[in-house]
Structure formats: structure tokens, C-alpha cells
Amino acid sequence: MFSGRISQAVANQIEKKISENNDLNSLSNSELADLAIEFVGDAPPSHVPRETVIEILSQQPSINSWREEIKQKAIEAAKNKVSNASNNVDPRMAKMIKQQFGQWLQNSGLSTVEITTKIDTNSDGMISRDELDKFIHNLSGTQPPEWVSESLISILDTDKNGVIEVQELWDYLGAIGFNVPVIEESLTEKIVNEESVIDETQSTDAEEDVFEDAEWSEGSEINIEEEIAQIPDIEPVNESLTDNHLQDMQTTNDNLDENIESVPSINTSIEIGIERLHSTRLHREAVNVIDSTNPGNCTLMVERVERTLMVMDSYRGGMTAIGLLDNGPYNVSVLFEPEYNDQVESLEGKKISFIGTLFDWSSGLRQAKLKGSELRS
């Protein structure tokens, strides 16, 4: 596919990265420049931002065709590898691996959405061999042998097309007892339509009731003087306000001020970051938002505590507190190191203070994760 404008070694390296991720962001700046030389004819000026270079290259039809060709080759190679793996794995061994993997997932305490988010790290709806290996490593603490990975791929890739789709993962999770999300099409539209029908029916019924209950009908005579006589007298308003009136007004204003103060607000760098995370769609967008936030003093109204899972740093073996951050509006999970375990275990229902650092975002749960230190209860 390459014409020879760049060295074969560089071309092979670029193709290898694209076959693994099919994402131009996986290329270094020098590799992006080489790609531009190959397909556009010249390298971009050094002052052009990396994001702009990627955007321009991603709009080139020749590059898109090349990426699609590499993608199809990768799928075909994966399909052949899965087929070979399926033929070489002992059925009894495959059954044991399937059961062990299912047991790991059940013991992790993660939901279907959390498992999906942690496996499909780039949120493209497909699970690569590399993503599966990293997930198993984080889950078990050890790097899986190649034959284990191949066995799991053959188990999860039910249609044997060389790609594990998220739906295939969900089918597997559902088969071992997980609650799998069900998306009903046009559910909101259905509800809106039903409410519209109800409103129209109620409106029509109300109009009919008004006309049925009325004591007059078309052609009936109305005695104006009698109608006026039935209107109750209106007492004049006392324009002078008593001290009690003023006191009542002051009390009302004080209550309003208290209510305004209790309304959840978004002030800190972490809260602003969480607000921005709710509008992100891609994993790299979330990473950029997290990197832009600063650590700070936080409070948490603890709703529950649980043991921390799926981390490999100093927080491994610690406890996680879940609750309302800084009086709202966001619920978060806060990880604490093992040295705080005894203290964290007794925090349920209490308000705590700590130094927080935003470090992860669960797009499935729409919930941020913080790492906490200097815990004070």
C-alpha cells in the first residue's frame, strides 16, 4: 500500500499500530508526519497542532481506505487465529477456563456496565485481544498465558468473525447470571405519546363536565342583578403593616436564604471536572478532563463502603467510600489506602473530610472516582 516515500521499517511500524487500534491518535508526531508524506506528499509545518494534523489526515479518502483495508486484514487474521485456537484447545480445558473466568467476574462485585467499561477501554464497542489481556491481568494480578487468552476469545466470539462485540460479552454475562441492560427503542417517545393521549382525554372530559354541570344553556336568560348580588363583598386592604407582618416577612426571607444556600453548587476544580465528564463521549476526552483538574479539600456524606477492587497501585487492598460529594449534586466513589481500612469501615452514614484527586470516570455508571488522602471524620 505504501509507495516507498518513507522507509519500509517505518511503514511496518505505522501499519502495526493502526492494525491494533485503528486510531491515528496511537501514532507519534513523527509517524503522523511520515503518514502525511506518504499520502499527502509533504509533512505538516511544525507549528500546526497535533490535533489539527490528525483531523486533516482523518479526512483524507486515501488514508481512510488504507485504514479500512488494514482493519479488514486484522479481522481476517484474528478470525483465522480464533479458528485455530478453537481447534487446538481441549474442550474440557475450555470449559474450565469459561467457568473460572465467570467466577472471577462474579467475585469482582462489578456490574455488567462496569465490566464493559473496564474491558472496552476505548469505548469502540469491540474488545481487542490486548484489552482482554489487560482486563484479566488487572482482575487476577497475573498476565494470562497465550492459550488462555485464545480460549476466552473463542468462547466470547460466538459468531467466529474474529471480533468480540460488546453484545457478545453481554450474552455471556447474562448466561452466568448478570443483569444485562435492555434498551427499549422509542421508549421516551412512547411515554410522551401516552401522556399526550391522557392529557387530551382529560381535557376533553373536563370540557364536557363543564358544559354538563352548567345550570345554563344556550338561549337561557341570566338575571344580571341577581348575579351581582351573589358576589361577596371584598374587605378593603389594610395598607399599614404591623410588626407581626414584618416579622413574618423577615422569617420567610430567612427561610428563602437558607434554601438558596442549601442548593447544591459546583465550585471546586473537581466538581467542575465531573460536570464536564458528564458531557464526554470518548475515553480520551474523559482522560483530558481528568488531567486538567486539581486536587483539593473535599467532603463526602458516606452512603456505603466496600472493598476496593481492580487497582494495582498503593490503593490495592484498601476500602472505597461511596456518597455525596461536597453536599451535591454528584455521587462519587473515593478510594483510600489500606492504612485507613479500620477507619473507613465505620464511616457509613457519616460525613468525612479529605484531600481528593479525580482519577477515573465510569461512563456506564456516570460516576467519578477519586483517590483520597488525609482522611478526617
Q: Please report the DSSP string for 305-369 in residue order.
A: EEE--S--STTTT-EEEEEEETTSS-EEEEEE-GGGHHHHHT-TT-EEEEEEEEEEEETTTTEEE
41 — pLDDT class (breaks 50, 70, 90): confident
Please give the average per-residue pLDDT across 322-336, as a whole number.
Answer: 93
* pLDDT confidence of residue 67: 84
pLDDT at 321 > cutoff 90: yes
> With pLDDT > 70 as the criterion, what percentage of the chain qualifies?
70
Answer yes or no: are the C-beta atoms of 140 and 104 closer than 8 Å.
Answer: yes
Instruction: List, in order, residues 6 or more apart from 29 with CB less than 8 Å away.
Output: 50, 53
What pLDDT sits at residue 325? 95
Residue 220 has pLDDT above 50, yes or no: no
User: What pLDDT shows up at residue 345?
Assistant: 93
What tens digit of pLDDT does each residue of 75-89 get?
666 556 555 555 555
pLDDT for res 250: 58
Q: How would CATH label the architecture of 269-376?
A: Beta Barrel (2.40)
326 pLDDT exceeds 70? yes
Q: What confidence score (pLDDT) does residue 196 get?
A: 45
Computed over every residue of the chain, the mean pLDDT equals: 76
Least trusted range by pLDDT, from 28-32, 233-237, 261-265: 233-237
The span from the CA of 195 to the CA of 191, in Å, is 6
Question: Which of 24-33, 49-58, 240-249 is predicted with the least confidence, judged by mean pLDDT?
Answer: 240-249
pLDDT given for residue 352 in this prediction = 96
Distance CA 306, CA 333 (A): 10
Task: Provide the pLDDT for residue 251.
Answer: 58
Question: What pLDDT is recorded for position 230?
Answer: 54
Residue with cell 508524506: 37
- How do strand 164-165 and strand 126-127 relate by DSSP bridges? antiparallel
Give tens-digit pLDDT for 137-175: 887 677 777 777 777 888 888 887 777 888 888 888 888
pLDDT tens figures, 246-304: 565 555 555 545 544 445 678 899 999 999 998 888 878 889 999 999 999 999 999 99
Domain 90-175 bears CATH identifier 1.10.10.10: no
Stretch among 34-38, 42-46, 136-140, 345-349 having the lowest mean pLDDT = 136-140
- DSSP helix/strand/coil, 270: helix
- For the chain, the structural domain boundaries read 8-74, 90-175, 269-376
| % the chain with pLDDT above 90 | 20
Determine contact, residues 299/350, Cβ cutoff 8 Å. Answer: no
